Structure 1
């Protein structure tokens, strides 16, 4: 004997696992490549039980118009799709988002003015009004860059 002691939890105190509950779980697997060099690999798609149309939708969500624009696309065991495009399209999205950013700033400024009018607390009223004015100055200075 070496003096070590092993302790087991009582059955009603042991952690619950899907196995102890008899719940079958999907086995995890490594990523499956679905598109390589713009070419759809239908075998992997069929093995995972997805359609071409579904994959096209997933690819389009990430900025590609079609499979030809995708360098590599893969799916993990949980159904998450990862897409690498040949061309970095971030610049196109930034240009499209500029007017939206201006509109968001204007809405925030209007909200601050509204909060100033709605509150009865004089300190809060002053703070909201000052911040609305500050934000308006900022909007006026950056709006030419957002068009």
Structure 2
């Protein structure tokens, strides 16, 4: 029956397209270059053709798919080693704005209008061309923008503030199920997790998503959105404890009459003060 042939051919085409896409890599589903765009369209056309054309030989369509797979795959291997070939097949970026000045010749070269350029700038939250230090149109068609120094947002580095490095949060609970691998990656155990859930007052089955951040704090989202949960306070408690230690050491130094003990307590209080200063950017995040 014809419909059964279409089903089997379609299933075969889907399987081959999936395998080809997996081998060609993630570039085929990201921002495409000209050649990748042509390859993707043609592979789809060929797959549709061999799925529905009852008169053509199925093996001919398979051969066409293999050719359209081998050509871009071979070119990818070659372009990895040759910058000239990369520029030829993938293109290269074009500078559209430099030092707040629009380069009209480059706009004409890329067949870009002023309206299209302004629209692309607005997608980057830039509404004034004069604020732009540098803007380049990438080979993928995306416009990347660098603002002038005085228009860039302030960062902790600009303010001279020390911040701690951030690590990936681990999802230790998903749909009420405990995830052992992320839990082990965070260096934590099941016993720790159950203890934290008990502190909050929820059971594992009621948790939709549970994440542990780089500081070992557990954040959870439960199925019942109306339920109010206590916020994590590990960092606040640690900061309060460190400050109390500093205050206690200073108090001991003031209350003792022994000069040696006084100097020891004062020195320890100064050291604890430096510890508090170092940990403040981490514990107040």
State the TM-score, normalized to the length of structure 1.
0.48
**Which structure ranks higher in relative contact order (CA pairs < 8 Å, sequence separation ≥ 6)?**
1
State the TM-score, normalized to the length of structure 2.
0.27
The structure having more radius of gyration, on CA atoms, is: 2
